[in-house]
Amino acid sequence: MSGFFCGDGCLNLNRNNLQANITIGQKEENILQTIKNIYGGNVYLDISSNCYVWHSSNVDDPAELLDNFTKYSLNNKYKQNKLNSFKKYVDLLIQYKGKWTPELKKEMIKHINEFQLIKD
């Protein structure tokens, strides 16, 4: 899964709604349905790119997947750096779920800004 994600996966942190998103795109739907069955999330057809996308924005869904990436690190240094930052953010989301304060929101946005600055 780590190698597959390195090639076709994407991590995103949304500044507007503070959501953490994991996606994987493929021309064939079957493998994404298998990923959905194992890790949760949803599969949909992205008409703009004419491919299927597995998507998870529920912080509880990717926990097993993130654990998998801890056991089997990504071979792409850029994606591994993004993943490390992403996991820290998800940990904060889980820790403070439902306890948002203005200070915490500022901290989350700062983390998102740092995440977006990670380069190849």
61 by Cβ neighbours in 10 Å (0-12 / 13-18 / 19+) ranks as middle
Report which of 28, 19, 25, 21 is spatially closest to residue 5, judged by C-alpha positions: 25
The reported pLDDT for the residue numbered 60 is: 66
Domain interval for residue 56 = 2-117
Amino acid found at 58: N
Residue 95 is part of a domain; what is its CATH number?
3.10.28.10
pTM of the model: 0.86
pLDDT at 33: 96
Structural domains counted in the chain: 1
Segment 68-83 shows an average pLDDT of 89
Q: Report whether 53 contacts 24 (CB < 8 A).
A: yes
Greater model confidence, 44 or 97: 44
Position 105 scores a pLDDT of: 87
Predicted local distance difference test score (pLDDT) of residue 119: 85
Query: CA 80 from chain center: how many Å?
Result: 12
What is the separation of C-alpha 91 from the centre of its chain, rounded to a whole number of angstroms?
12
Assess whether pLDDT exceeds 90 at residue 47: yes
